Structure 1
């Protein structure tokens, strides 16, 4: 149940991460870089670049060390192939 103008069940609203922070979209099981917030939605971008997507803040968690390592390795591989500048 939502309180007026507040988060559900009295929970604290999620902390807004710094741009570039690796996050996991739990609704799609995808890792992306946090890009910003707009109209209550968070924008994530695939680690190797690509089209951003939006997700509700309550469906996002900070990437654990294994997911961060995988994402950073994928980014390094894409850069070595010339896909990223």
Structure 2
């Protein structure tokens, strides 16, 4: 992406961390992202974000659900 901030609700990949998240807000020059299934938000610079393809989004959602399933079944 450019230095332009993506709109709230858009799903993007943070190229610095490799994480996929949903845009939840803008704070100063940063974009606030939340993991797909909720959790702790993190800040990212708009220049290091990129839109995700449909395939990447599906893959990220499956990975998040698998992780959630592993956590809940081990308790």
* Interval containing the TM-score (normalised by the shorter chain): 0.7 to 0.9
TM-score, structure 1 length as denominator? 0.65
Structure of greater relative contact order (alpha carbons < 8 Å, 6+ residues apart): 2
> Which residue of structure 1 lines up, in the alignment, with residue 14 of structure 2?
25
Runs (4+) off by over 3 Å: 72-78
> Which residue of structure 2 lines up, in the alignment, with residue 64 of structure 1?
53
Query: Does structure 1 conserve the Cα–Cα contact (< 8 Å) formed by 2:6 and 2:46?
Result: no
Q: Which has the higher helix share?
A: 2
* Residues 28-78 of structure 1, C-alpha deviations (whole Å, 9 max, x = no match): 011000111111000000001100000110010011222111233356665
How well do the aligned residues superpose, as a CA RMSD in angstroms? 2.1
Matched positions, count: 67
Structure with the greater alpha carbon radius of gyration: 1
Q: Structure 1: which 5+ residue stretches go unaligned?
A: 1-11
TM-score, structure 2 length as denominator? 0.73
Q: Structure 2: which 5+ residue stretches go unaligned?
A: none
> Which residue of structure 2 lines up, in the alignment, with residue 3 of structure 1?
none
Query: Does structure 2 conserve the Cα–Cα contact (< 8 Å) formed by 1:47 and 1:74?
Result: no
